[in-house]
Amino acid sequence: STRDLVFTGIQPTGVPHIGNYVGAISQMVRLQQTYKDRMLLSVVDLHALSIPQDPSLLRSNILDLTACLLACGIDPKHTILFQQSMVPHHTELAWILFCNCSVPRLQRMAQWKEKKATIKEPSVGLLTYPILQAADIMLYKSTLVPVGEDQTQHIELTRDLSRAFNSRYGLVFPECDMLAGEIPKIRSLRNPSNKMSKSEPSEKSRIELTDSPEVIAEKIKKAVTDFTSELTYDPVNRPGVSNLLDIHLALCDDIDLEDILEDSFLSAEDTGLYKQRLSQVVAEKLAPIRAEAIRLRADEGHLLEVLGDGADRASQIASETMAEVKTKLGL
């Protein structure tokens, strides 16, 4: 409805890759049209702190991400684009929600169980970040949250916390809904059984939005495929080759699988040739984004100004909500 407000966030943990682009950023750009002037997009740096971060790298990642979001078409005139830590109300509301959520409720979260198994001494933040995420959403009385299936539990938690707050202290928060879409999943070029991720150590596993055509060609050339040279789409038995086709399809809305498989360029039905073809396609698609991201990244002052303006606008909404919350709590 026209009263809907969309909240979405993205962690500044590295230069965004094509998986982030097709799976998240391009959807944000589309939503910006539908929810013009009714969307907040936060560079959620506080969430990044739930695992150890190098300060100078984090600072640089925040600017890289901001430059890429703008280069992909996020328009700060119509979307409130801001850095989470510039709006202190996020942590303020999170504390209040901490005090209204049980420890077992958080310990039951699937992502906690998964992540704590891989980390020797997980921080309190890693356990409680779903509450910070709830605070992010609730602070703006957001009603729509575009997230993947893996976030279902977190949205349920947000709804539970809103409901609990409202029934205990009086109506403040709307119940938010997930905005689920058909989101293509891109896999790692080095380990096609995993998704492409910024957190995979090898940079060769992902294509970043600022990679040069040469780097793109090199990464695709080295992408793990198999010993069959024929080009076929079979995600189960041929995840590597199929992932390359998925990348192609995700980046080019106007073509389908048949178009690619019947391309005369590939008469030899050779995955090696196809890798060259795909490298050209990816480089062409990324060229304008890359050029704009590099241009924007060179002007840190401008990027900080954009984030600061966004934070001012976000703070206005957030402080109104916090004033209501505090009144209800007797603070």
Residues near Na ion (CB under 5 A): 199
Residues 145-174 touching ligand ADP, rule: CB under 6 A, are 148
Token reading at 137: 């959403």
From 49-57, 67-75, 87-95, 193-201, give the range in contact with ligand ADP by CB under 6 A: 193-201
Residue 11 lies near ligand ADP (rule: CB under 6 A): yes
Q: Could you tell me where the DSSP H helices lie in 170-236?
A: 213-221
| Residue 179 interacts with, from Na ion, ligand ADP, none (CB under 5-8 Å by kind) | none
**Residue 129 host element (H or E):** helix 124-138
Asked if 115 is an active-site residue, the reply is: yes
Of 19-27, 122-130, 207-215, 265-273, which segment contacts ligand ADP by CB under 6 A?
Answer: 19-27
Tell whether residue 78 is a contact of ligand ADP (CB under 6 A): no
| DSSP code string of 250-280 | HH-TT--HHHHHT-GGGTT--HHHHHHHHHH
Active-site residue, selected from the candidate residues 116, 185, 195, 204? 195
Q: Does 84 bind ligand ADP (CB under 6 A)?
A: no
Residue 40 lies near ligand ADP (rule: CB under 6 A): no
Closer to Na ion at the Cβ: 11 or 162? Answer: 11
Tell me the C-alpha distance between 191 and 157, whole Å: 32
> Should residue 23 be labelled a site residue for ligand ADP when binding is judged by CB under 6 A?
yes
Residue entry with tokens 């100004």: 305
Torsion angle of alpha carbons 31, 35, 40, 41, nearest 10°? Answer: 10
Which residue bears the tokens 């995700």?
Answer: 250
**Distance between CA atoms of residues 220 and 222, nearest Å:** 5
Question: Which active-site residues does the annotation give?
Answer: 115, 195, 198
The footprint of ligand ADP (CB under 6 A) covers: 10-11, 13, 19-20, 22-24, 148, 185-186, 195-199
